Amino acid sequence: EVQLLESGGGLVQPGGSLRLSCAASGFTFSSYAMSWVRQAPGKGLEWVSSISTSGSNTYYADSVRGRFTISRDNSKNTLYLQMYSLRAEDTAVYYCAPRSPGANPFDYWGQGTLVTVSS
């Protein structure tokens, strides 16, 4: 059974930093590209960032480029999202989701971790 467990969310002040983690199990983590997708309270889904299977290629939404860094540790089956210079508009539930390499959808989703940026 595929399991994706996000952690690291919480309350942070504007301008602060936070690192999210996603522990994966139930599938061959190193064979899947991984992504972060977020959802602001009461809003729709927004893709944030993706990383290739090896970690050599990364992709970012314009809204987070230069502030967020995605990474992965295939030896630990874990995905990360380092977030800097957080803004109120970054407040959202952050989901991790695997994708088969190539043009493919998000096969599975974690339950998400809530990040709240507020003073």
Partner 1 sequence: EIVLTQSPATLSVSPGEGATLSCRASESVSSNLAWYQQKPGQAPRLLSSGASTRATGIPARFSGSGSGAEFTLTISSLQSEDFAVYYCQQYNKWPLTFGGGTKVEIK
**Residues contributing to the site for partner 1 (CB under 8 A):** 35, 44-47, 50, 59, 61-62, 95, 99, 103-112
* 16 vs 58, beta carbon nearer partner 1: 58
**Are 21 and 80 spatial neighbours (Cβ–Cβ below 8 Å)?**
yes
Q: How many C-beta atoms lie closer than 10 Å to residue 2's C-beta?
A: 13
**Closest CB 103 distance from partner 1, rounded Å:** 5
CA atoms of 113 and 89, how far apart (whole Å)? 16
Q: How many C-beta atoms lie closer than 10 Å to residue 83's C-beta?
A: 23
* 66 vs 105, beta carbon nearer partner 1: 105
**Closest CB 15 distance from partner 1, rounded Å:** 25
Paired residues of 94 in beta bridges? 38, 113
* 2 vs 11, beta carbon nearer partner 1: 2
All residues at 6 or more sequence positions from 74 whose CB lies less than 8 Å from its CB, including other chains: 29, 30, 53, 54, 55
* 5 vs 87, beta carbon nearer partner 1: 5
